[in-house]
Amino acid sequence: MASKNGTRLTIDKSGRIVVPKRLRDALGLQAESELEISAQSDGMFVRVVHDDSALVRIDGLWVHRGSAGPDADWNRVLDDVRVERVAAVLKP
């Protein structure tokens, strides 16, 4: 059931909730994914705990979850990735 702030969930007798598949997929959550929960004045906040890897695979695509420095040269990064992909495709 949807609510104005998101999806309503029910806690089972063991205190568990089920994260809907659509949300798990959007966040890149899989079995054994680690979450952190904290109490807030109006409820609780749940966030995904990311491991050291800044790259996660979501819907078959690699997604960068880290942050880039202010001097990041994205054009160079994209060019490097393109060169690697072309080389991989042309590899005998």
What is the tens place of the pLDDT at every residue in 73-87? Answer: 888 888 888 998 898
**Cα 10 from Cα 87, distance rounded (Å):** 50
Structural fold of domain 2-90 = Pemi-like Protein 1; Chain: D (2.10.260)
What is the tens place of the pLDDT at every residue in 4-26? Answer: 567 888 999 999 999 999 888 88
**Cα 84 from Cα 15, distance rounded (Å):** 47
In this prediction, residues 46-72 reach a mean pLDDT of 77
- Residue by residue, what is the 3-state secondary structure of the chain? CEECCEECCCCCCCCCCCCCHHHHHHHCCCCCCCEEEEEECCEEEEEECCCCCCEEEECCEEEECCCCCCCCCHHHHHHHHHHHHHHHHHCC
